[in-house]
Structure 1
Amino acid sequence: MASNFEKSHCLIDNLKARINKLAFKTQDTTKLFQRGDQVEVASQEWGYIGAYYTATIVSPIGNSHYRVRYKNLVNDDKSDLLVEIVKASEIRPVPPKHETLLVPEDIRMYDIVDVFDNDGWWIGFISGRHEENYKAYFPTTGETLAYSPHLLRFHQEWNKGNWISSN
């Protein structure tokens, strides 16, 4: 019979694998976006994989790309918001706020969450609590950091035109 430690370790390994799979997943491109639509762009850049950045569609480019303007990222000289061309497979709608807002009594150990840090939403899981803050572990970076509940949301995946909870 497996000990609680072994069960916990197995659960953590499964969560790490699941989050890594989600982080490297291409987005479901069932939605066509229009100019002005609010979206999230999944980073495919090493060191930022697993992060989603809020942006606005500037224009579609052909059938498979969009020009976007990020809400929180700036260009190299910091003179304006960053505008770049991204693949449609890297874009999803912004998750509905009412279903993702977290209140402390709803947060449980090992919940898969997005944490707002470094101008984007990073996927991880709750690994503990320290006073009023929650510790989140990020499998894509190997870091564990503590955050206030207002910086957390439950992770959801855009799948065939619907939001699916990861918990």
Structure 2
Amino acid sequence: MTHLEEQHQSRIDMMSKAIKSIAFKKQQTTKAFQKGDEVEVASQEHGFIGSYYTATIVSSIGAYHYKVKYKTLLTNDQSAPLEEIVSVSEVRPVPPDQHEIMLKNNLRLYDMIDVFDNDGWWFGLITGKIGSKYSVYFPTTGDQIAYPPDVLRFHQEWSNGKWIFLPRQGKMFGLY
């Protein structure tokens, strides 16, 4: 392995640790959602950690749970949208649309992004570019897959009632 390859792998390892720590933490819930609100639900199931699914609030269940109806997930028999009860710590608002931001900012090596795949948004990082597609590594699953830019968005975290863009990681490493 060359020095550059070692540096690249070291950066991926460091970024992977950061992504895992973010993906495994509970959402900071500072907002009470109402019936009909569109939200994203963070999966806490093994193999799905780091994924978010769009849903609508059906009702509040006490102070710590919501009943949600998913937009893209279906019941086992595929006959209707899946409804389930989730903890408030798994729910966040839907991030703002990023179409304009994505047009203005080219994706770069080590950017933390979300990819829409398998009915939800998956948290990963860009590890390269292959033609017009971006190679994305998912630390919580160990997968690396190439995607076109139209299914990518910059990753954001809901914190203290605001959406926070994570710093562009390439800048941290002086890559651009």
Pick the TM interval, shorter chain.
Answer: over 0.9
Q: Which runs of 5+ in 1 are unaligned?
A: none
- Letter of the aligned partner of 1:140 in structure 2? T
Deviation for aligned residue 1:102: 2.3
Distance 2:66 2:120 in 1: 19
- The sequence identity of aligned pairs, in percent, is 54
Q: How much has 1:139 moved relative to structure 2?
A: 0.5
Residues 100 and 153, structure 1, Cα contact 8 Å, conserved in 2: no
- Secondary structure of the equivalent of 2:95? coil
Q: Structure 1 length as normaliser, TM-score?
A: 0.94
Cα deviation for residue 101 of structure 1 reads 5.2
Q: CA deviation at 1:12?
A: 1.3
Distance 1:132 1:34 in 2: 41
Q: How many pairs are equivalent?
A: 165
Q: Does 1:134 align with 2:134?
A: yes
Paired with 1:76 and 1:25, the residues of 2 have a C-alpha distance of 28
Aligned equivalents of 1:104 and 1:116: distance in 2? 20
Aligned to 1:71: 71
CA RMSD of aligned residues (A): 1.6
CA apart distance, 1:100: 7.9
- Equivalent residue number for residue 49 of structure 2: 49
> Superposed, which structure 2 residues align to 1:150-161 within 5 Å?
150-161=150-161
User: Structure 1 24/108 Cα, relative in aligned 2: closer, same or farther at 3 Å?
Assistant: same
Matched letter for residue 32 of structure 2 = L
Matches of 1:105 and 1:30, distance apart in 2? 30
1:120 is matched with: 120
Shift of 1:94: 0.4
Distance 1:100 1:53 in 2: 22
Which residues of structure 2 form unaligned runs of 5+?
A: 168-176
Residue 27 of structure 1: SS of its match in structure 2? Answer: coil
